[in-house]
Amino acid sequence: MSDDDLFHALESAPAGSSLAIARVLDQLRYDTRGLVPAIAQDAASGAVLMLAWMNRTAIERTLAEGYACYWSRSRNAYWRKGETSGHLQRLVELRLDCDGDAVLLRVEQTGRACHTNRPSCFYLLADGSVVRVTSDPA
Amino acid sequence: MSDDDLFHALESAPAGSSLAIARVLDQLRYDTRGLVPAIAQDAASGAVLMLAWMNRTAIERTLAEGYACYWSRSRNAYWRKGETSGHLQRLVELRLDCDGDAVLLRVEQTGRACHTNRPSCFYLLADGSVVRVTSDPA
């Protein structure tokens, strides 16, 4: 199996099959900036908390340190979530998707995930002809 | 309030505030291809099923038709999820995030979300030095 079809080969692999993580991270389908979208989900409640971005090093740091580390596209810098706010995300598990272009972090969230001090960043609900705010900022 | 700071203004808005949806969709932070990442979550179980991409029209079609419609980056075409497989995603609700650059679809999934016939696309778990397949293809 060449690395080109690594994700294709995994499609038919039974549960329990495994591959060296370095090889899989080599083959993720990073965008032109070297990033993949990363979803943070509350491991206990299942709530989707936020979507951010990771490069390979951010994934490796997250796994090594056990806390979510993203890449901030606005600041062009690593962003250890909660470093200034204290709203850390302890990593419960990190998953990759079938075609290697997205990351799912299941986390234990300290405090509130959103910079607006709401529990989730997804507080804007499409409701007919409007978008409605569904939670108060803290 | 200029449209430039629409999402900034919503940050401090109390629950129940609303804005015309067309105006919000105008101001989403689409990437250079006109796309934003869209997370599909099973509304009943909370499981994160997949991540795909939407342009403005895909969002509008999803809202109008009540079933998830994405933009396929590989095929460069609209992708009504389940159109060929029958694995439709009935829309329960559509949410946007705090900075207008991601979509969350809460859906009722018919059949299996992943093209490998697994319930979720996120079947690859980082486990120490390996990535492990956590579910069998159907």
Q: Which residues of B touch A51 (CB under 8 A)?
A: 37, 39, 97, 101-102
Q: Give percent of chain B with pLDDT exceeding 90.
A: 94
Following CA atoms B72, A133, A51, A79 in sequence, which dihedral angle do they give, to the nearest 10 degrees?
A: 150
pTM of the model: 0.96
Note whether B104 contacts A123, CB cutoff 8 Å: no
Which of A30, A94, A97 should be substituted to probe chain B, the one whose Cβ sees the most B Cβ atoms within 10 Å? Answer: A97
CB contact under 8 A, B48 and A39: yes
Three-state DSSP state, B26: helix
DSSP-based helix, strand, coil % in chain A, nearest 5:
20, 35, 45
pLDDT in tens, B19-57: 999 999 999 999 999 999 999 999 999 999 999 999 999
Strand B69-72 to B48-54 pairing: unpaired
Q: Which residues of B touch A48 (CB under 8 A)?
A: 39, 41, 48, 104
Out of A14, A20, A127, name the one closest to residue B136 (CB).
A14
CB neighbour class for A129 (10 Å; exposed up to 12, middle 13-18, buried from 19): exposed
Residuewise pLDDT in 10s, chain A (138 residues): 455 689 998 999 999 999 999 999 999 999 999 999 999 999 999 999 999 999 999 999 999 999 999 999 999 999 999 999 999 999 999 999 999 999 999 999 999 999 999 999 999 999 999 999 999 997
* Contact (Cβ atoms closer than 8 angstroms) between residue B95 and residue B104: yes
Residue A25, phi-psi category: left (phi > 0), alpha (psi -120 to 50), beta (remainder): alpha
A37: nearest Cα among B5, B22, B36: B36
* pLDDT band of B4, cuts 50, 70, 90: low
The three-point CA angle A4-A94-A86 to 5° equals: 135
Predicted local confidence at residue A138, as pLDDT: 79
pLDDT digits (tens, 9 = 90+) for B64-120: 999 999 999 999 999 999 999 999 999 999 999 999 999 999 999 999 999 999 999
Instruction: Judge whether B24 and B18 are in contact, CB under 8 Å.
Output: no
| Strand ranges inside chain A, DSSP E | 18-20, 36-42, 48-54, 69-72, 77-80, 89-96, 103-109, 124-127, 130-133
Look at B130 and A20 and tell me if their CB atoms are within 8 Å.
yes
